[in-house]
């Protein structure tokens, strides 16, 4: 007999200690950046865990996102995954949630099963939304080394060199003009930003963009926000910015990188796609699906 247990107080520390083999994707890599508990459903058979789904909400607690979803491979195709999703949907709805969403990658072995479940549960048609890249810095540099030099009107200001006036400029411009998308904010998860591998770029004395990264492990750095002001966007500038941060990683002895970009015409996504085709950097696409929960 299979039973299902729900909780809305699941901490990342408990998960890493007790359920690491049931975290997919592996959230332990982001442990330092996860501060609030998850809600989730655990499937149990003969007193042993066999499946787990985890989600969290934004500040208004109306939209919930799935962060991890795993069923033991030997027990798939037995409706366990579907029941986990159903139980999660019901509990989110009871707490006033209006929408549930998730992103999965096209190369996962579980992707065919995810397709079956979201269709069965009447989620939206999956849409390609994100592109992910990971690999060795040295492989990526063979592609981005083609960027060439920038004119001396451009300059880089690493986070170790930031002044209060720089922070105030970004804050005011965002408040007045909605300059960039919220997920591209340069100071999200500020406590774990890698200051030596994160920088602003200036045109003359004006800030026009940035690359922000977080060090996930001693050997791995993740580029988490990449923004260039619309007036100055060009492949040459984007190439040079990526080349600069990867070159800094190489100097610091951080051999691997991750990068993510939305696939909405973003030039960064096109750079990642092009680079992945001609280097050994691994690229994969993230598909988005969601479900509006009836009131």
pLDDT tens-digit series, residues 224-246? 899 999 898 887 888 888 888 99
Helices and strands in the chain, H and E counts: 7, 12
Q: How far is CA 210 from the centre of its chain?
A: 17
pLDDT for 261 equals 82
Q: pLDDT tens digit string along 178-228?
A: 999 888 899 888 888 999 999 999 998 899 999 999 988 899 999 989 999
Interval 99-110 mean pLDDT: 94
d(CA 183, CA 173): 16
- Rounded to whole angstroms, the Cα distance separating 30 from 5 reads 25
The predicted structure's pLDDT at residue 133 = 86
DSSP string covering 11-51: -HHHHHHH-GGG-SS-GGGGGGG--S-EEEEEEEETTEEEE
Specify the pLDDT at position 147: 58
What does the alpha-carbon distance between residue 82 and residue 119 come to, in Å, rounded to a whole number?
10
Averaged over 152-170, what is the pLDDT?
90
Q: What does pTM read for this prediction?
A: 0.78
β-pair partners for 6: 41
DSSP 104-164: EETT-TTHHHHHHHHHHTTPPPPEEEEEEEEEEHHHHHHHHGGG-PPPTTEEEEEGGG--H
Higher-confidence residue: 163 or 123?
123
Q: How far apart are CA 132 and CA 212, in angstroms?
A: 16
Where residue 295 falls among pLDDT bands split at 50, 70, 90?
low
Q: Is the pLDDT of residue 270 over 80?
A: no
Half-sphere exposure of 2 (CA within 13 A, CB side): 17
Determine the distance from the C-alpha atom of residue 106 to the mean position of all C-alpha atoms in its chain, rounded to a whole number.
15
Instruction: Please state the rounded mean pLDDT for residues 10-21.
Output: 96
Kindly report the number of other CB atoms within 10 A of residue 250's CB atom.
15
- Cβ count within 10 A of residue 191: 8
Residue linked to tokens 């970004």: 170
Q: Report residue 15's pLDDT band, with 50, 70 and 90 as the boundaries.
A: very high
d(CA 70, CA 172): 43
Please check the confidence at residue 72 and state whether its pLDDT lies above 90: yes
Q: Which domains occur in the chain, in start order? A: 2-123 (3.40.630.30), 133-287 (3.40.630.30)
- Asked whether residue 148 carries a pLDDT value surpassing 70, the answer given is no
């Amino acid at each position: 007999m299979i039973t299902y247990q729900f909780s809305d107080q699941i901490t990342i520390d408990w998960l890493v200690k007790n359920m690491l083999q049931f975290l997919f994707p592996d959230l332990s890599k982001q442990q330092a950046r996860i501060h609030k508990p998850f809600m989730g459903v655990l499937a149990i058979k003969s007193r042993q865990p066999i499946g787990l789904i985890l989600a969290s909400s934004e500040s208004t607690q109306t939209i919930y996102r799935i962060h991890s979803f795993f069923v033991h491979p030997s027990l798939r195709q037995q409706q366990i995954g579907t029941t986990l999703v159903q139980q999660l949907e019901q509990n989110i709805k009871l707490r006033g949630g209006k929408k549930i969403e998730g992103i999965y990658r096209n190369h996962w072995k579980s992707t065919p099963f995810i397709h079956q479940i979201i269709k069965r549960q009447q989620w939206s048609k999956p849409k390609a939304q994100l592109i992910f890249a990971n690999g060795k810095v040295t492989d990526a540099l063979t592609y981005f080394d083609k960027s060439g030099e920038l004119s001396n009107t451009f300059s880089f200001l690493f986070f170790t060199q930031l002044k209060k006036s720089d922070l105030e400029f970004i804050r005011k411009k965002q408040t007045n003009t909605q300059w960039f998308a919220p997920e591209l904010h340069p100071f999200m998860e500020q406590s774990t930003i890698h200051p030596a591998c994160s920088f602003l770029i200036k045109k003359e004395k004006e800030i026009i963009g940035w690359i922000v990264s977080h060090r996930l492990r001693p050997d791995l750095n993740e580029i988490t926000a990449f923004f260039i002001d619309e007036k100055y966007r060009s492949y040459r500038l984007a190439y040079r910015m990526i080349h600069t941060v990867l070159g800094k990683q190489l100097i610091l002895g951080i051999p691997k990188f991750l990068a993510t970009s939305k696939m909405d015409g973003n030039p960064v996504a096109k750079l990642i796609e092009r680079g992945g085709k001609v280097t050994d950097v691994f690229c994969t696409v993230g598909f988005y699906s969601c479900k509006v929960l009836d009131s």
